Structure 1
Amino acid sequence: MSDLAVLEARDGANTLRAITRMQPALDFQAGDRLAGWRRPLEQLRDRLPDLRHQTEILQFGGAVGNLQALGADAETVASTVARKLGLRWPGYGWHSARGPLVHYAGWLCELSGALGKIGQDIALMALRGESDIHLSGGGASSAMPHKHNPIAAERLVALARFAATQISAMHQAQIHEMERSGAAWMLEWMVLPQICEATGAGLVAASGLLQSIQRLGTPS
């Protein structure tokens, strides 16, 4: 968020042509477009406390999910384990109810998508030329030396689209048979790490991309 704040302070008053339905619309301030990038990130940040409450929970169910081997001590043992791990004990095992991890993956994909929107906008602004944006770095073309390819912006789009394709697999992994599934767990842990990695890579790429912007819009 600090990278966006720097851009808003420096270039927020510059003029940009708004684009609606892929066609030039009206002039507005660069700060208006930056606000469209910033607000989804702020909303995701504001939802973090709820996300933590919904996902930082102890999974402790025993052989078939009901802690029967612990008898009357089950609640005491579970609460103690949760406290020592810094987690919340929901009062039951959730071997076959994967909603918390689906919720977590959804938040990550929403973050990745918000970053991908920034990348898509910057790639299109680079296409429109330096009246919209001036970037440092990027990629040269061996065949067309006049080109300045917005590689970091493209990376954000690719990562966001990759993460978006994975979330459907998380919903597939939500379908557990009976009290515990082996296949669904395998699928879940094939997919969730990739969503985490794509979102983390997107955060790094977005920070570098925003810092590479030399000018946004045209000074009034």
Structure 2
Amino acid sequence: MTISAFDHPILSGLLGDEELAALFSAQAEIEAMLHFEAELALAGADENVIPREAAREIATSLDTFSPEIRALKAGINQDGVVIPSLVSQIRATLSETTRPHLHFGATSQDVIDTGFALRAREAIEILERRLDGLLQSLEALEERDGQIDVMAHTRMQAAIPVPAARKIRSWSGPLMRHTKKLAAVRDEIAVLHFGGAAGTLDRLGHKGEAVAGRLAARLELALPEHPRHSERDGIVALASVLSLISGSLGKMGQDIALAAQSEIGEVELATGGGSSAMPHKKNPVAAEALVTLARFNGALVSGMHQALVHENERSGAAWTLEWMLLPQMIVATGAALLKAADLVDGLTFRARSV
């Protein structure tokens, strides 16, 4: 066992997703936060809130800035968030006249939540592409094998023969619906989080809305009617859709594992796992992984619903819980889609013997 299977040097071979995991690495998070700070400075200059020269210096400095990670680690231990330490390090690279203009009007949550939105938007796009590819593979499987008769099972008992298309559609139908849900939740995720200390942009005065609009445009994010520091329904909706996707893939994996049993033999797997003691076996490893990942996300999604409870204008406890749970759910869903694609591409239904 290990703390996280997703980035373990061995277990990630079974459960990992390098493409999505890269979006939630420390490097990717820092880059997203620095991007926010640079664009905030430029947006402020656009509205004459800070001098144009200061904004240019900030943006130029951030192009090559690399923080001292140990200092960030010590800072988050003290402050509960990384931004005070990060901003302090950036300021040390700026001229004395420019330093007050860095991070002007923003708060830690603006930087962290918007940085997550930028990365989550990209993650959703990856998931959408994979869902589309998987649905195409399922359509091709149905076209090739859909008329082959298989035995339907109700409550784990043999029922009546049905076309394989009946089973395949029970896998593809939910995924089609989840594709629509994922597109809808993307609009809830790809939003700017910018409210300042308590969600009122008070330091920017009457320029607050204008700077927010400029910043949203620069980051290509939607601008909500008001900052959502303590409104976490969009983020939790993403977690719910992730659990739905992985859960439906788990159902497919369970069906395939059962159909591939030696005594049943209704499907043939192109590849399977070997046994150290029984060389004749072809274990349905990918199908089993789908079941595991479905149950993993099913367990974590309840924690994300706990994170809806943000007391007053900001919660340190609920917010930290999101950091622990949501990236793992995204990577688990991505890994499930990769496994499912390989599984379906190598799946063949067998005609029932008379």
**TM score, norm. by length of structure 2:** 0.59
SS of 2:186's partner is: helix
What's 2:220 paired with?
Answer: 86
Aligned-residue offset at 1:211: 1.5
Change in 2 beyond 3 A, CA 1:128/1:145: closer
- Which residue identity is paired with 2:270? S
Task: Show the 5 A alignment for 1:71-82.
Answer: 71-82=205-216
Equivalence for 1:8: 142
Deviation track 1:43-100 (CA, whole Å, cap 9, x = no partner) reads 1112333222222111111011111111111111111111211111112111111111
Q: Deviation of residue 128 (structure 1)?
A: 5.7
- Residue 194 of structure 1: which of 309, 328, 347 is its match? 328
* Aligned 1:105-144 pairs, distance under 5 A: 105-127=239-261, 129=263, 131-144=265-278
DSSP 3-state at the match of 2:260: helix
Look at both structures and tell me which one has the larger radius of gyration over its CA atoms: 2
- Aligned amino acid, residue 73 of structure 1: K
Corresponding residue pairs, total: 219
Question: Partner letter of residue 210 of structure 1?
Answer: V
Asked if the contact 1:13/1:219 (under 8 Å) is kept, the reply is: no
In the aligned structure 2, how far is the partner of 1:49 from the partner of 1:142?
44
Alignment of 1:183 with 2:317, yes or no, is yes
Counterpart amino acid of 2:297?
A
1:170 corresponding residue in structure 2 = 304
- Partners of 1:131 and 1:141 in 2: CA distance: 19
Instruction: Give 1:219 shift.
Output: 6.6
2:349 corresponds to 1:216: yes
Greater relative contact order, per chain length (Cα 8 Å cut-off, separation 6+): 1
The answer to whether the 8 A contact 2:300-2:329 is kept is: yes
1:99 aligns with 2:233: yes
Cα deviation, residue 180, structure 1: 1.0
Counterpart residue number, 2:187: 53
Say if 2:345 is the partner of 1:206. Answer: no
Q: Distance in 1 between matches of 2:199 and 2:307?
A: 18
Report the RMSD for the aligned CA atoms in angstroms. Answer: 1.6
Deviation of 1:136 (Å): 2.0
Q: Name the counterpart of 1:29.
A: 163
2:182–2:241 contact (8 Å) kept in structure 1:
no
Unaligned stretches of 5+ residues in structure 1: none
**Worse-superposed segment, 115-124 or 74-83:** 74-83
Code of the residue aligned with 2:145 in structure 1: it is D
In 1, Cα distance between the equivalents of 2:262 and 2:207?
Answer: 67
Deviations 1:141-181 (A, max 9, x none): 23233322111100000011001111111111221122111
What residue ranges of structure 2 are gaps of 5+ in the alignment?
1-134
Task: Report whether the alignment pairs 1:20 with 2:163.
Answer: no
